[in-house]
A and B are shown apart, each in its own frame.
Chain A
Amino acid sequence: MRTHPSLIVCPHCDAVYRRPALAAGQVARCGECDAVLHRAARLDMNGWTALTVAAAILFVLANAFPVISVGMQPFRNDATLWQATASLVHGAWAPLALPGVAVAIVAPSVQIALLGWVLLFAWHGRRAPGFRLAMKALDWLRPWSMLDVALLGVAVAAIKLAGMAEVAIGPGLWAMAALIGVTAVTAKGDPRWLWEATE
């Protein structure tokens, strides 16, 4: 099988192009269907690594500090990201907790870990053990990572509860918001450049 590294095929309409030379941050769009063909990374390896480390720290913070706290005198419930989504895991309603845990905890944390692992080796121009699997997993996980939906969910839940209980926002929420900003670049961004960078 012959490969054509100088060509690029639009994933949405199959049109063939010569791979364009883009400056950082530039985007090439398909002239046929207008889909994004190729997005030149705004960040270099340093940037990706920095953001991945930042994402890992923020993820820990969102799980260490309460995201939201709900009180009904004399009780008070503080919930971290983990507690807010996973507290059902032990009850009869465990299946209900699974989607929430999957999209708000498992997918984002696995993404951060895989990206960190791959980048660690890419620094030395090498492919990490399991590189191929990690890159496939990152591609597969992308649509299922929903921290942004979870954040909106926290806001909606807080407003729904405001009428019947005392609701307060915790520091974990700010960590979560920052995490979404950071992962907008890493998790949602396209790590395909790593294939070329490690060849």
Chain B
Amino acid sequence: MTVRPRAQHLGMVGCRVCGLVVSAPLQSDQRSFCPRCRSELQPRFAGGSARAWAFWLAALIFYVPANLLPVMDIRVLGGAEHAATILGGVVDLWRDGSYGVALVVFVASVLIPTVKYLALAFLLLTVRHANGWARRARARLYRWLEAVGYWSMLDVVVVGLLVSLVQFQALGEIQPRAGILFFGMSVVLTMLATQSFDARLIWDGEGDDTV
């Protein structure tokens, strides 16, 4: 089985920003820049996966208060004051009979973040410790993470909208609570973690395991 040449083996780099292919010196202590767009050329991201791990951990830490603390406080005339958490919001929708919307919010706010933490950890661990298998599937998993991750911002937008719209003093008011801030930060941090993962690492050492 022949292995397709990788840019790194040929002493080349594809610029991440403008796509230009450049022959660049490979000394790791020397920084080189794209002659066309002046972005830094990185055959592999500097520092390996350290940045991705750092963002991943920070996101996970923020994710705890994001789920434990209420994200908003709903007060409507004739109803009791009601503090809603992320998961509580899904339950409320379900109880109101809006099953479809409950499902959408559940997927965006609970399922995607959870799967994302696990999948990213899985990718980070396998490129380091067990890189020789299912490269194509793992590459696809990473592209999927990149594509769906930002839908988790849904709840941040919803709470922002509800708070802006329901300001009727005595009749009804929705107030934001700290949970949504943690939730938003955790989503942003997971997006940064995903961006900091170098998908090219999945394909490294390919020649070694096929011979």
Q: Which residues of A contact B (CB under 8 A)?
A: 1-5, 7-16, 31-35, 68, 70, 72, 75, 77, 79, 83-88, 93, 95-97, 99-100, 103-104, 132, 135-136, 139, 143-144, 146, 149-150, 152-157, 159-161, 163-165, 192, 195
Contact = CB atoms under 8 A, between A and B. Distances in A.
A88 B157 contact: no
B133 to A, nearest CB: 14
A135 B16 CA distance: 12
Contacts of B68: none
Given A15-B5, A135-B17, A157 B158 contact: yes
Interface of B: 4-8, 10, 12-14, 16-24, 32, 35-39, 76-77, 79, 89, 92-93, 96, 98, 101, 104-105, 108, 135-136, 139-140, 142-143, 146, 150-151, 153-154, 156-168, 171-172, 175-176, 180-181, 184, 188, 191, 195, 199-200, 202-203
7 contacts: A2-B22, A68-B161, A75-B168, A93-B175, A97-B160, A99-B160, A163-B96
Given A33-B135, A93-B176, A156-B101, A13 B160 contact: no
B35 to A, nearest CB: 6
Given A95-B181, A135-B18, A14 B6 contact: yes
Given A33-B135, A77-B166, 16 more contacts: A9-B21, A11-B19, A13-B202, A15-B4, A15-B7, A32-B4, A77-B167, A79-B164, A96-B180, A135-B18, A146-B153, A152-B154, A164-B79, A192-B18, A192-B19, A195-B36
